[in-house]
Amino acid sequence: MVRHFVANVFTLMIVGLIGLAIVISSGKRSFYVEGPLSEAICFRVAPGSSLRAVSSALAQQGAVASESVFRIGAQYTDRADSLRFGSYLIPERASMDEIMDLLTRGGASTCGTEIQYRIGVTRIDTLVRELDPATQTFQTVVQFLSDEEPPEDYARFAGEADIQYRITVAEGATSWQIWEGLRLAEFLSGDPGEVPREGWLAPDSYAVSRGADRQEILAEMEARQTRILTALWEERAEDLPYASPEEALIMASIVEKETGVADERRQVASVFVNRLRIPMRLQTDPTVIYGITLGEGTLGRGLRRSELDAVTPYNTYRIDGLPPTPIANPGRLAIAAALNPDDTPYLYFVADGTGGHTFSTNLQDHNRAVARWREIEADIRARQQSQGN
């Protein structure tokens, strides 16, 4: 009797252990297999969130099939206490293991709202953008200029603990414009110090956090530009008329200010390189303008005859060779163009009315191109006046 009872208990224990093993195996498998999400979502882990609260929210949004399996899997893989607050892009069909990895890996948020602070050549503006997880593209929900009062919605977004900030610097912005833009950015901290050297700040996009130090951001911009110039200098064409990387940077800044058409940069650079080789004066308006403004804002009008005739270190109509410093901060492509210009016979160029330029090898052809451009300018002014009336 006793022997029969013990045998039954032993059998039940074996069956129970087998059942438990099956449950564990099934749970483990479901933790690693493809999840139920039919499309990507943005998921936010609030500061101080518990694993239970996160698993519940994930289940409500259809990201996990079982809250308990998600929690057990997190504990089994030693990640239960490693949640990092932030907003994360969870892709469709992500497994529980992949989701847990996203929520515990740390680093910058990969989803949600981004505040983009854009320092341009003529203006500074702020955009609040939200990521659409389905298309993985940002949609602008708030936008305002630096001299405008921020909309009420901005304070709500800026107050989020895990908000992402991004500073974007346009190619061709001057060091003073960038320095001033950072000084005006309310989400940054610290004294920006002296205005950095012209040309030595890389136009680029910089991810920062609220309270980031202004001088540290400027230092990163300078370090990045130095790396770019150093790398491209090593790949430069032979027999260029530059005595140093600094002179190449000066040329790149002129190229940056002369054309906004990417495909023209190397042609424009070839014109100025050809002039330096002859030698022939560069005769470029942007350098004259820089000599007047010293990079502190824009001129806002055309150049006067007296300004074109004045002898200044930046008036390339009156001086030989390059000006003493860059006249803006050139981007990577302009630096590359200055160091690897096209091989052309061109010595002149002028706007053609389409946003690009007409290039010429001699003064006669150039004068005809200038005359055509004057006619185009006159037509534009006439249309504007008629529309104004």
Beta strands in 324-378 (DSSP E): 348-351, 357-360
> What phi, psi does 95 have (nearest 5°)?
-75, 165
pLDDT value, residue 225: 98
pLDDT value, residue 20: 47
Beta strands in the chain (DSSP E): 41-45, 86-90, 113-119, 124-132, 137-145, 164-169, 205-208, 348-351, 357-360
Residues 130 and 220 in one domain: yes
Query: Residue 120's domain spans which residues?
Result: 113-230
Residue 267 lies in a domain: yes
Q: Express each pLDDT in 187-205 by its tens digit.
A: 999 999 999 999 999 999 9
Question: Is the model's pTM score more than 0.75?
Answer: yes
pLDDT value, residue 147: 87
| Total domain count, the chain | 3
pLDDT value, residue 137: 77
Residues 271 and 225 in one domain: no
Low-confidence ranges of the chain (pLDDT < 50): 6, 19-20, 23
* Residues whose CB falls within 8 Å of the CB of residue 52, separated by 6 or more in sequence, listed in order: 67, 71
For residues 113 and 130, the answer to whether their CB atoms sit within 8 Å is: yes
Strand-pair category, 124-132 with 205-208 = unpaired
Residue 307 lies in a domain: yes
Pick from 199, 230, 261: which residue ends a domain?
230
pLDDT value, residue 98: 86
Q: Express each pLDDT in 286-327 by its tens digit.
A: 999 999 999 998 998 999 999 999 999 999 999 999 999 999
Residues 170 and 204 in one domain: yes
Residues 290 and 342 in one domain: yes
Residues 45 and 118 in one domain: no
Residues 57 and 166 in one domain: no
Residue 375 lies in a domain: no
Q: Is the peptide bond before 36 cis (omega within 30 degrees of 0)?
A: no
Residue 36 half-sphere exposure, CB side, CA atoms within 13 Å? 11
